[in-house]
Amino acid sequence: MFLFPAFFMMGLVVFYPFIYNLVISFSNMNLTNFHDWQLKGLGNYLLVLKESTFWWFLYKTVLWTVLNLIFHVGIGVFLAVILNKDLKGKTFFRTLLILPWAVPQYITALTWRGMFNSEYGAVNLILDGLFGTQVSWLSTEWGAFAACLITNIWLGFPFMMIVALGGLQSIPDALYEAADIDGATPWQKFRNITMPMLKPVMVPAITLGVIWTFNNFNVVWLVSNGGEPSETTHILVSWVYRAAFFYYRMGYAASFSIIIFLILFLFSWKFIKRTSATDNVHQ
């Protein structure tokens, strides 16, 4: 009885939208028959999978996710290892490095978009001053992709840094002292002590990072100004938004979003199972 309000709200905000989205993914709902749509089977799913647009944006989404995760985890763990040492001003640097994560994402995205302006942006002014060259960041497909990537890397590494720092502080010093007695090198200590001990905290963080990055609509949409130039700077979620709320292809967009959900569900399940994220590292 006491749990009924919680289950009711969960059903209202989670299960009902999901079931409704699943139903209209099998329908012909669009702008012309918004109120009298009918079920038409797997037609939307087959249409999505046949389109070259889906496979191209899937490729760019996977590339976007992989590159982001490499930099997020690499920079995050590197900075966490440094901040875990006895450094002067450690608290100041820790606070400074968390700032990108604390600023609202849309403000950061719009700020970076201004900085990538080809004529007046700070990035090109710096490149011109240092190397005598400028880059067409927002007027080419891969220039805009790189601009979105740089923005999201700047936004994402603090989360991995905080998670890794928490994991590092839980590693007993006795393990490193024993390794020092055995004459282990810094790389051997990192590989045989730090990495295995960080695994239980980093695997769930990486899983979350993949899901967040794969579905990161804000950065791609705001930095590229809705997929410019010529709708080429899209990942799957931004293309679904375009299809649903600009072209009003509701059934098509719903089936597209279900396919995205299945991709992420299968990845998360396989990744956690393969990496044994729930196993206790001390066993």
Output the pLDDT for position 224. Answer: 92
Is 251 within 8 Å of 44 (Cβ atoms)? yes
Burial grade of 229 (CB within 10 A; 0-12, 13-18, 19 or more): middle
Cα-Cα-Cα-Cα torsion 100, 271, 240, 66, nearest 10 degrees, comes to: 50
- Classify burial at 160, counting beta carbons within 10 Å of its beta carbon; exposed 0-12, middle 13-18, buried 19 or more: buried
Geometric angle at alpha carbon 80, from 76 and 81, rounded to 5°: 120
Residue 164 has a CB neighbour count (10 Å cut-off) of 24
Q: Is the dihedral of CA 118, 121, 125, 127 positive or negative?
A: negative
Residue ranges in the chain whose pLDDT is less than 70: 276-283
pLDDT at position 279, please? 59
Separation in Å, CA 145 to CA 65, 84, 267? 12, 34, 24
- Quick one: angle between helices 141-169 and 90-102, nearest 10? 140
Residue 31 DSSP symbol: S
- For residue 60, what pLDDT is reported? 95
Cα 267 from Cα 214, distance rounded (Å)? 11
Provide CB contacts within 8 A for 250, sequence distance 6+. Answer: 24, 27, 29, 30, 34, 37, 244
The DSSP bridge partners found for residue 39 are 27
Q: Give the total residue count for the chain.
A: 283
Q: Which residue has the tokens 């044994």?
A: 276
pTM: 0.87
Per-residue pLDDT at 283:
52
How far is Cα 80 from Cα 8, in angstroms, rounded to an integer?
A: 41
Q: Residue type at 69?
A: L
The residues with which 27 forms a beta bridge, in sequence order, are 39
